[in-house]
């Protein structure tokens, strides 16, 4: 029989090997975790040592050295819808959208069968009234002849009555016949006047219809460009601009373009009638158009606190088109409100309202609650919450928080 110690030796050896395997596994699992923890601590220490770099620019007062840029809408000097004056069907169309037309140029032709029949009827009526007038004139000639005969007869019977050859009764009958003949002449004369007036009315009606027939040729009212075309060949055309009628074309006069700009109340005093401005369109890079302030509406909009200004810019080549969006620059505009301007991307819209991240003298971030004025596109007017010269952070990220120390990088606009 084997001794007990000899039997326990393999068991102890097994447990020893098992313990070594467990220790090795534990160590192998802990080492990567410790390494990652050391990396995280090193990164945190690096973030603590390195400061957050931010781009800043200074809030500025608008002045003569800083031109005012405002958005503007371009509209044609004159833009008129073209309606038909005659009913019918469109048989010919000579222009389309984008065509340039001259004043008096035929844009379309309308077939007017009903109007043609009315013209024929009016001509027939006029001809009939002329014939009736001739009949009335002949009747007047006959009445005058009868009157002359009656006058002579009455004179003879008066002489015969004085001689006692005829009775007094017979002389009275001749006198009465003379009065009847005079009345017939007057009636014939009045009938001729009426016929002539009827002829004048029929001529006027025929002339009116013939003028309406001229409207079968739809012409351009002025030199311009066709901005809309709502009909095509075969379309039923209704005259006028009410009911089922609709505009056939729309023509815009683009030789001079009007620009409508809403000027903030603070800048109105520095912009005057006849002042110069510059117009730029994003789709026309490198081109600057000289504009002139024509007039103001002299009424401040209570919603936007701005006044509408109308500018004029020559457009001889038709480069500028109605409906374009443009930037209008006023070189000498100056604010009278004391507000400051900052880039639009420096404004932070949060649940607490509009805010701006400002870097103080110790290079630490402070968020200021601000009151926003007019949005000029690239820049935003700040009425309160900022002072001229405050360094505001552009495009602040989520890492920009109150009290964070940052490294300043000046932008090109500061």
Q: Please count the other Cβ atoms lying within 10 Å of the Cβ belonging to residue 348.
A: 19
Helix (H, G, I), strand (E, B) or coil at 381: strand
pLDDT for 380 equals 85
- Name 153's Cβ contacts closer than 8 Å, sequence gap at least 6: 174, 177, 178
Which tokens in the block code for residue 218? 């739809």
**Is residue 24, in this structure, part of any structural domain at all?**
no
**Is residue 308, in this structure, part of any structural domain at all?**
yes
Q: What CATH number is given to the structural domain containing 300?
A: 2.40.30.170
Q: What CATH number is given to the structural domain containing 347?
A: 2.40.420.20
Choose one of 214, 236, 263: the last residue of a domain. Answer: 214
Q: What is the Cα–Cα distance from 161 to 77, expressed in whole angstroms?
A: 91
pLDDT for 73 equals 93
Q: What is the Cα–Cα distance from 192 to 137, expressed in whole angstroms?
A: 6
**Is residue 240, in this structure, part of any structural domain at all?**
no
Cross-strand pairs, 211: none
Query: Is residue 324 domain-shared with residue 363, that is, in the same domain?
Result: no
Q: What is the Cα–Cα distance from 354 to 347, expressed in whole angstroms?
A: 7
Residues lower than pLDDT 70 in the chain: 1-9, 11-12, 14-15, 17, 21-22, 24-34, 38-50, 62-66, 243-244, 332-338, 411-414
pLDDT for 66 equals 62
Query: Is residue 207 domain-shared with residue 122, that is, in the same domain?
Result: yes
Q: Residue 308: name the closest of 321, 320, 298 by CA.
A: 298
Q: What is the Cα–Cα distance from 292 to 39, expressed in whole angstroms?
A: 65
Q: What is the Cα–Cα distance from 308 to 298, expressed in whole angstroms?
A: 8
Query: Is residue 123 domain-shared with residue 200, that is, in the same domain?
Result: yes
pLDDT for 16 equals 73
Which tokens in the block code for residue 7? 């039997």
pLDDT for 229 equals 92
Q: What is the Cα–Cα distance from 408 to 410, expressed in whole angstroms?
A: 6
* DSSP assignment of 299-351: EEETTTTEEEEEEEEE-TT--S-TT-EEEEEETT---SS--EEEEGGGEEEET
**Is residue 257, in this structure, part of any structural domain at all?**
yes
pLDDT for 105 equals 95
Q: Please count the other Cβ atoms lying within 10 Å of the Cβ belonging to residue 167.
A: 12
Number of domains in the chain: 3
CB 59 within 8 A of CB 342: yes
CB 293 within 8 A of CB 311: yes
- Compute the C-alpha angle 335/338/342, nearest 5°: 80
**Is residue 274, in this structure, part of any structural domain at all?**
yes
Query: Is residue 310 domain-shared with residue 368, that is, in the same domain?
Result: no
**Is residue 262, in this structure, part of any structural domain at all?**
yes
Query: Is residue 321 domain-shared with residue 361, that is, in the same domain?
Result: no
Choose one of 330, 363, 379: the last residue of a domain. Answer: 330
Q: What CATH number is given to the structural domain containing 158?
A: 1.10.287.470
Q: What is the Cα–Cα distance from 67 to 64, expressed in whole angstroms?
A: 6
CB 213 within 8 A of CB 86: yes
- Look up the domain containing 306 and give its range: 253-330
Q: What is the Cα–Cα distance from 263 to 337, expressed in whole angstroms?
A: 13
Which tokens in the block code for residue 84? 């038909």
pLDDT for 1 equals 46
**Is residue 399, in this structure, part of any structural domain at all?**
yes
Place of tokens 């919603």: 303
CB 144 within 8 A of CB 183: no
Query: Is residue 326 domain-shared with residue 345, that is, in the same domain?
Result: no
Strands 106-111 and 353-359 come out as: unpaired
CB 86 within 8 A of CB 237: yes
Element of type H or E holding 145? helix 113-163
Choose one of 292, 308, 330: the last residue of a domain. Answer: 330
CB 253 within 8 A of CB 103: no
Query: Is residue 148 domain-shared with residue 186, that is, in the same domain?
Result: yes
pLDDT for 264 equals 84
Query: Is residue 259 domain-shared with residue 326, that is, in the same domain?
Result: yes
Query: Is residue 122 domain-shared with residue 172, that is, in the same domain?
Result: yes
Query: Is residue 357 domain-shared with residue 276, that is, in the same domain?
Result: no
Query: Is residue 177 domain-shared with residue 260, that is, in the same domain?
Result: no
């Amino acid at each position: 029989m084997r001794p007990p110690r000899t039997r326990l030796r393999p068991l102890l050896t097994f447990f020893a090997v098992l313990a070594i395997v467990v220790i090795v596994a534990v160590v192998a699992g802990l080492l990567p975790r410790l390494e990652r923890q050391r990396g995280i601590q090193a990164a945190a220490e690096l973030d603590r040592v390195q400061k957050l770099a931010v781009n800043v620019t200074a809030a500025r007062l608008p002045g003569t050295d800083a031109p005012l840029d405002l958005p503007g809408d371009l509209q044609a000097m004159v833009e008129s819808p073209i309606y038909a004056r005659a009913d019918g069907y469109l048989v010919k169309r000579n222009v389309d959208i984008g065509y340039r037309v001259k004043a008096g140029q035929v844009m379309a032709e309308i077939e007017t069968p009903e109007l043609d029949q009315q013209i024929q009827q009016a001509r027939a009526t006029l001809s009939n009234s002329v014939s009736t007038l001739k009949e009335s004139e002949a009747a007047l000639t006959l009445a005058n002849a009868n009157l002359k005969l009656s006058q002579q007869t009455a004179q003879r019977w008066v002489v015969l009555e004085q001689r006692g050859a005829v009775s007094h009764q017979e002389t009275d009958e001749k006198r009465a016949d003379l009065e009847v003949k005079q009345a017939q002449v007057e009636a014939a004369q009045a009938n001729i006047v009426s016929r002539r007036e009827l002829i004048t009315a029929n001529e006027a009606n025929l002339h009116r219809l013939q003028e309406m027939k001229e409207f079968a040729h739809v012409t351009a009212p002025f030199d311009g460009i066709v901005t809309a075309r709502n009909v095509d060949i075969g379309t039923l055309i209704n005259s006028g601009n009410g009911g089922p009628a609709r505009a056939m074309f729309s023509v815009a006069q683009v030789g001079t373009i009007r620009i409508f700009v809403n000027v903030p109340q603070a800048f109105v005093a520095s912009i005057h009638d006849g002042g110069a401005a510059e117009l730029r369109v994003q789709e026309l890079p490198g081109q600057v158009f000289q504009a002139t302030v024509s007039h103001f509406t002299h009424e401040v909009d209570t919603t936007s606190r701005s006044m509408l200004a109308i500018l004029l810019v020559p457009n001889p080549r038709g480069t500028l088109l109605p409906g374009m969006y443009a930037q209008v620059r006023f070189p000498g505009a100056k604010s009278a409100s004391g507000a400051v301007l900052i880039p639009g991307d420096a404004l932070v819209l949060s649940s607490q309202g509009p805010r701006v991240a400002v870097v103080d003298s110790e290079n630490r971030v402070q968020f200021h609650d601000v009151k926003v004025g007019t949005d000029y596109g690239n820049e935003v007017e700040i009425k309160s919450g900022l002072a001229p010269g405050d360094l505001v952070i552009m495009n602040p990220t989520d890492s920009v928080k109150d009290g964070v120390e940052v490294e300043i990088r000046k932008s090109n606009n500061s």
